[in-house]
Structure 1
Amino acid sequence: MASRSHADPAQAGLAAGRRGLFGRTTLAAPGLGRLRAWLALPRELALGRLCYVLKRPLFALPEGPWRWRGNPPATAALVPPDPWPGNAQRGLALLDDSFHFLGRSLTRPAPQWNPVGVDPAWLEVLHGFGWLRDLRAAGGDNARRKARALVADWIAVNAAWSPVAWHPVVTGNRLSHWFSQYEFYAASADVEFRQRLLAAAARQARHLAGVLPAGLSGADEVAAAKGLCMAGLCLPDGAAWLSRGLELLAAALDAQILSDGGQRERCPILLLSVLRDCIDLRAALLAAGREVPGDLGLRIEGMAAMLRLLQHGDGGLALFNGGNEGEDLQIGLVLQRAASGKGPLQSAPAGGFQRLQAGRSLVLVDCGRPPPPGYDRQAHAGTLSFEMSVGRDRLIVNCGAQRGAGDWRAAQRSTAAHATATLADTNSSELLAQGGFGGRRAAVTCRRDEDEGNLWLEASHDGYQPLFGVTHQRRLFLSANGEDLRGEDRFTGEAAPAKPCGFALRFHLHPEVQAMSAQDGRSVVLRLPKGGGWRLRSAGGALALESSVYLGQPGQIRRSQQIVLSGTIAASETVVKWALQRMESAR
């Protein structure tokens, strides 16, 4: 039966209007951009990716079936603990053959493991088997049998190598999820099923050990290494795979975890992924009675403190560099299991983020350089952007990102999709169509001061210097009571631009915030969901209230609004001042 796809008409309408929301975005041509991105990689990563691509035809060659020496085992050597909650509603949908990933639902996909017309990212989730946890949450024998049937079908259909199903990251995720859910779907199965399951897992572990590191970097490399470690712990005679996996994990963490606990990809949701993978592996090693690497606990503690820095009052994460809010329950559980006594960092110069917190107000600022080559595939050109929340209400936001969002990919990465300044509808760093940055990357300076509870932050970037000879300087002040946020954006150069250059300062609003332009034409009144009132005033630019879009919640595209302060840079220095203050009537 042909698969049926369900899409939200409202989301389709928003996608059609994305150009109007963010203006034009200029990206390097896909073919040229891919070559430039590869040439910019560190030598080891570039060679690793090239070798993996060249070996792919060999992976597709027929091979003999995997055989154990002696009798094949019928029981896993270890069932690792898995405390993470699933989604029972999605699990019940799976019982009816409805698969909902990344904002798209397919009912009875055909073919089951390679349905026509779906995004590769959707297929990666399908083949990764993370949804086994949703079936477990649904509960009951029907869910158990469904999980067992889908695993058995995958083993039967995907014996031959294919680019998505056998990609190292997808394979690592699948091994992790097969073993973490083993008690749910496999422990009570018949001997034949368990033998086929363990034989299939062993064959995948052998393949994974042979291809890694495969030019992977960032959270992807950690996920693949974790899968190999889990196979080594859970499969009989898997010690060699465990040793290889731990070696790869140590190298991956050394390369990407910074001195303040930040991660080189500079994306909060990817930091969460790496932290969770490390917590899972630590728990599995302890359950197996194995020694935990000495620095793994320190890495977990540092990442947990950094993640708390990037957490809003509602428990969700800030929207920087391709991330979304995440699920606050899961984030809280990850931080709880990190067992770190550290509170949130306030300043993370290595990671490139600052946290200004006073009263009920919280401001999170991106003060870092764009991620380096190899770690920038999904990064955004959002330098000096900020987000603000009051209590549990988000007020000023970046637009966020949807994985596998198709038409939104270019728009969501643009500078205009962030609460920062855009010059001449141009990104502050050059974005390549296939992901990553070109040769023009913003360099950033940052200084922070505190006095009697008042907070000052001064930062600048030179991303527009090569094109317009202009440096963007942003100064922020947050009062000790948290009720007064003031900003000053300066555009400076050694001389006036050769020709006038337009600028736009954007303040994207959360969809739950109600906005209304005041009669004076120089301010906007903002009403939070819980009734608090704020007013944004400005000087030095024309103020307008325009449409925007919010991509910060997984699988959802929502209409929102943005405040835009615009003008022209025609002198060696142009200054725009603004203030966001709590209204007296809301006190």
Structure 2
Amino acid sequence: MTGPAATAAPSRGASKAVRRGGPLARRRAWRHLPAEQRWARLVYLAKRGWFALPFYPALLPGCGEASPLATPPDPWPGRAEQGLALLGGLYRFAGQSLQAPAPLWQPAEASQAWLAELHAFAWLRDLRAAGSDAARRRARELTQDWLDRHARWSEPAWAPLTLARRLTHWLGQWDFLAASAEHDFRQAVLASATAQGAHLAHSLPAGLAGADLICAVKGLAIVGACLPGGERWLGHALGLLTRELPRQILPDGGHIERSPSRHLAALRDLIDVKAMLHAAGREPPVELEAAIDAMAPMLRLFLHGDGGLALFNGSTAEEALKIDLVLQRAGSRGRPRLSAPESGFQRLQAGRTLAIVDAGAPPPPGQDGQAHAGTLSFELSVGRERMIVNCGTPGADGGPAAWIAALRGTAAHSTLELDGRSSSEPLPVGLWSGPGLATRPQSVSCRREEAEGATLLELTHDGYKAGLRALHRRRLYLAAAGDDLRGEDRIERSEGARPAGFAIRFHLHPEVQASLLQTGDAALLRLPRGGGWRLRASGGTLAIEDSIYWGEERSRRCQQLVITGTAGPGTTVVKWALRREAGKRD
């Protein structure tokens, strides 16, 4: 898979809004960043010239020890198949596979995401999972080669986030990587880790934000707790952490980036910091304990019946076993949160049917690097089977840039698209602004009612107000038995507004098969285990189109149901209902 031409496009118009992002839009997004974050980015950019000076490495401290003071617990599993591939010279990172790349640390054909993964050394876990002496030798050979070639600052090898992740993995995999190695190797690793830790302390916050900043702070905390003389770095890391947690963790426990995958990553990093502090005999800050306790129930809100995450804002389903381990280490055994008004998500559950709804505004500027234009979209599962989904994204580690851009658009989500536009305008990656949003809904509202086991949501957003003079209202009602989901989408437009086409999309999981009934106003959906559901629609034309599902590491073809029509001035109403077929069990 190398790009959009290799498979079915997510849907018509999916990247139209993305293409409107240009230099002017990027500058507008840069101006909208919080002043503190803009200043931090400018300061780091200015420091890069200093870091590149020939004498800079001599200013960084070294370490004469051959063993760390402590090692951080690292229970996270690696992937043995990835480790075996590495032993065979195949490097598979960020959706890109390179066989025997040369030069190894900077092959010309490698993407930036691929390079970041290579230099971050997370693949040490995969070699450990391969479970052989050959894997251990390979880990040491690659580490020694990196030490020989990267004693001086360079990018991407010394980029703050990549550097912090490398320190985490070097020390977290110490027993596998270095504990039984020769003295000179162990000393060289710790000397380099000390220099990198000092550099990281000089660099942070480096304009990082959200889960990336938490990850970088974790790296600084770990190197500070593990290495001699690191007490000052540890203090700096905990200071940044106690400052960031109230900013990033919302009152309902949601992470400010509103991405289930980023929420999972941040929670996992916070758990690692807590475990490291315990291993080093330090008491975790109360803010850290409180954040972990609040985030775990919120993580459960995002879980489908198969144990994976809902696909909002750059998320993938992730591995259910990994999610279970995170919840276990967080000490969470409670029920999922059903309503998260500050984070803007709702969970509707009845019988074996579950709907997870994006009922909030996109994350604020500076925290919207993963944001998708999926306002008021929803996902639906029955038992352990996903039925209605969003298209997802090409992996948390990256993927083909054209696909990443297209899948951020509204058309790649199970919600209403108007005039081929997105409710928010995603931006391409830029040096100054990052891949944030140029425009977004200014007002998003949600009202929830529950009665006798049934749940009603009334939702509104004004993302189509500018230019189209339109308001989108959506009502979702899930009956108490869980066999009846009813929806209503209303487009309210000002007098004099020109007619505009609309499309209400229901992207289907690849295992779900759809067929249009002869009446033309209904479609039959078949789940893998034989369950049948029928979707009926009025107020538009119902059709089946091709789509794509990228909720896992690879793309898969799938179908989507699309209700189309034209919305002129006044109010346009589309009603639809999704009901279980009589006599069928899912």
- The normalised TM-score by structure 1 is 0.95
SS of structure 2 residue aligned to 1:202: helix
Per-residue Cα deviation, 1:131-176 (whole angstroms, up to 9, x for no partner): 1000000012111111111111111111222221111111111111
Shift of 1:557: 1.1
One of 420, 430, 445 as aligned partner of 1:425 = 420
The answer for the alignment partner of 1:585 in structure 2 is 583
Shift of 1:585: 3.3
Shift of 1:20: 4.3
Q: Unaligned stretches of 5+ in structure 2?
A: 430-434
Mapped to 2, the partners of 1:50 and 1:407 lie a distance apart of 28
The answer for the alignment partner of 1:552 in structure 2 is 551
Mapped to 2, the partners of 1:10 and 1:501 lie a distance apart of 30
Per-residue Cα deviation, 1:380-423 (whole angstroms, up to 9, x for no partner): 11100000000110000000011232111221110000000000
Mapping 1:131-210, distance limit 5 Å: 131-210=123-202
One of 550, 559, 568 as aligned partner of 1:561 = 559
The answer for the alignment partner of 2:78 in structure 1 is 86
Mapped to 1, the partners of 2:469 and 2:61 lie a distance apart of 68
User: Given the superposition, is the C-alpha separation of residues 67 and 147 from structure 1 closer, same or farther in structure 2, using an over 3 Å criterion?
Assistant: farther
SS of structure 2 residue aligned to 1:25: helix
User: Given the superposition, is the C-alpha separation of residues 140 and 314 from structure 1 closer, same or farther in structure 2, using an over 3 Å criterion?
Assistant: same
Shift of 1:23: 6.5
Mapped to 2, the partners of 1:69 and 1:410 lie a distance apart of 42
SS of structure 2 residue aligned to 1:387: strand
The number of equivalent residue pairs is: 577
Shift of 1:66: 5.4
Letter in 2 for 1:580: L
Mapping 1:227-242, distance limit 5 Å: 227-242=219-234
Shift of 1:342: 3.0
One of 33, 38, 44 as aligned partner of 2:25 = 33
Mapped to 2, the partners of 1:442 and 1:419 lie a distance apart of 21
Note if 1:48 corresponds to 2:43: no
Note if 1:14 corresponds to 2:1: no
Per-residue Cα deviation, 1:304-324 (whole angstroms, up to 9, x for no partner): 111100111101001001111
Mapped to 2, the partners of 1:21 and 1:500 lie a distance apart of 17
Mapping 1:208-287, distance limit 5 Å: 208-287=200-279
Per-residue Cα deviation, 1:282-320 (whole angstroms, up to 9, x for no partner): 111111111111121111011111110011110100100
The 8 Å contact of residues 81 and 180 in structure 1, kept in 2 or not, is answered as: yes
Mapped to 2, the partners of 1:506 and 1:19 lie a distance apart of 9
User: Given the superposition, is the C-alpha separation of residues 53 and 551 from structure 1 closer, same or farther in structure 2, using an over 3 Å criterion?
Assistant: same
Mapped to 1, the partners of 2:279 and 2:504 lie a distance apart of 52
Shift of 1:432: 2.0
The answer for the alignment partner of 2:475 in structure 1 is 475
Mapped to 2, the partners of 1:119 and 1:330 lie a distance apart of 27
Mapped to 2, the partners of 1:178 and 1:195 lie a distance apart of 13
One of 300, 310, 313 as aligned partner of 1:308 = 300
The answer for the alignment partner of 1:373 in structure 2 is 365
Mapped to 1, the partners of 2:336 and 2:220 lie a distance apart of 32
SS of structure 2 residue aligned to 1:270: helix
Shift of 1:70: 9.6
Per-residue Cα deviation, 1:431-451 (whole angstroms, up to 9, x for no partner): 222311124434200000000
The answer for the alignment partner of 1:364 in structure 2 is 356
The 8 Å contact of residues 67 and 199 in structure 1, kept in 2 or not, is answered as: no
- Displaced runs of 4+ in structure 1, greater than 6 A? 67-71
Note if 1:395 corresponds to 2:394: no
Q: Unaligned stretches of 5+ in structure 1?
A: 1-7
Letter in 2 for 1:534: W
Mapped to 2, the partners of 1:469 and 1:32 lie a distance apart of 23
The 8 Å contact of residues 2 and 400 in structure 2, kept in 1 or not, is answered as: no
Note if 1:415 corresponds to 2:414: no
Shift of 1:25: 3.1
User: Given the superposition, is the C-alpha separation of residues 272 and 440 from structure 1 closer, same or farther in structure 2, using an over 3 Å criterion?
Assistant: closer
Shift of 1:430: 2.2
Mapped to 2, the partners of 1:47 and 1:67 lie a distance apart of 25
Shift of 1:452: 0.5
SS of structure 2 residue aligned to 1:321: coil
Mapped to 1, the partners of 2:200 and 2:62 lie a distance apart of 23
The answer for the alignment partner of 1:5 in structure 2 is none
The answer for the alignment partner of 1:516 in structure 2 is 515
SS of structure 2 residue aligned to 1:573: strand
Mapped to 2, the partners of 1:491 and 1:327 lie a distance apart of 38
Mapped to 2, the partners of 1:205 and 1:69 lie a distance apart of 9
Mapping 1:567-578, distance limit 5 Å: 567-578=565-576
User: Given the superposition, is the C-alpha separation of residues 185 and 366 from structure 1 closer, same or farther in structure 2, using an over 3 Å criterion?
Assistant: same
Per-residue Cα deviation, 1:20-64 (whole angstroms, up to 9, x for no partner): 473633444443233222111111101111111122122111126
SS of structure 1 residue aligned to 2:426: coil
The 8 Å contact of residues 361 and 390 in structure 1, kept in 2 or not, is answered as: yes
Mapped to 2, the partners of 1:109 and 1:526 lie a distance apart of 45
SS of structure 2 residue aligned to 1:535: strand
The 8 Å contact of residues 454 and 480 in structure 1, kept in 2 or not, is answered as: yes
The answer for the alignment partner of 1:530 in structure 2 is 529
Per-residue Cα deviation, 1:79-107 (whole angstroms, up to 9, x for no partner): 11111111001111111121111222111
Shift of 1:500: 0.8
Q: CA RMSD in A?
A: 1.7
Shift of 1:530: 1.4
Per-residue Cα deviation, 1:345-366 (whole angstroms, up to 9, x for no partner): 0000000000000000000000
SS of structure 2 residue aligned to 1:165: coil
The answer for the alignment partner of 2:432 in structure 1 is none
- The normalised TM-score by structure 2 is 0.96
SS of structure 2 residue aligned to 1:22: coil
The 8 Å contact of residues 15 and 409 in structure 2, kept in 1 or not, is answered as: no
Per-residue Cα deviation, 1:182-236 (whole angstroms, up to 9, x for no partner): 0111000000001100000001000000011111110110011000000011111
Mapping 1:115-126, distance limit 5 Å: 115-126=107-118
